[in-house]
Amino acid sequence: MKDLLNALLFSCCMLGSSAQSNWVSKAPLPGAARHHPVTFVLDGTGYLLSGSANGNVMLKDFYSYDTSSNTWTKKTDFPGLARGFAEAVTYNGKAYFGFGYSQTRAALNDWWEYNPDTDSWRQLASCSCSGRLHPALIATSNGRIYVGAGSSNRNLKDYWEYNVATNTWFKMPDLPGVARHHPFYFGIGTDAYMGLGHGSDFF
């Protein structure tokens, strides 16, 4: 019991020490200030794209961030429709991006691949699902990407699998829980996890 109490006390001290870490100001994004951009990391480089400016102007500009030099670099603009509330994941050195809300307030279901080696985009097969904002988007280690839930004119609970190797979509069983958008999600190995989120129908 004493060892357990000592371990708990040490853990609390470590957490307290971590909580006192300082924030350090870094170079600001050279593009417009924005709401709900998409971010991801490839080979130690951070990337940021899309989002909405001033609450209603959808964006498609794209930037990378180098931590060692604290600099942003303008990348090739996303060639699809400008959008906010989209999602992206990475797998095997590339990023996969799609969905979201267009300037005309259309919910999107298109699907794209970004190759950082050539700074180029390639359009892939669109999801066979309806367009949506804020879905869960989960990459697993076996070359599958899962899309589920989200919202369009209502919350959703359908679930889809994308096969990276064959560029095909497959309908999975619906989420057995409540329909929702903006859930939290992650993948561990070949398993995908999703939960929480907004259960009401507001965007």
**pLDDT tens for each residue of 27-41:** 999 999 999 999 999
Q: Is 201 helix (H, G, I), strand (E, B) or coil?
A: coil
Question: Which of 159, 146, 158 minimizes the C-alpha distance to 190?
Answer: 146
Question: Looking at per-residue confidence, does 99 or 20 come out higher?
Answer: 99
CA dihedral defined by 11, 13, 15, 19, rounded to 10 degrees?
Answer: 180
Q: How far apart are CA 87 and CA 50, in angstroms?
A: 10
pLDDT in tens, 131-150: 999 998 989 989 999 998 88
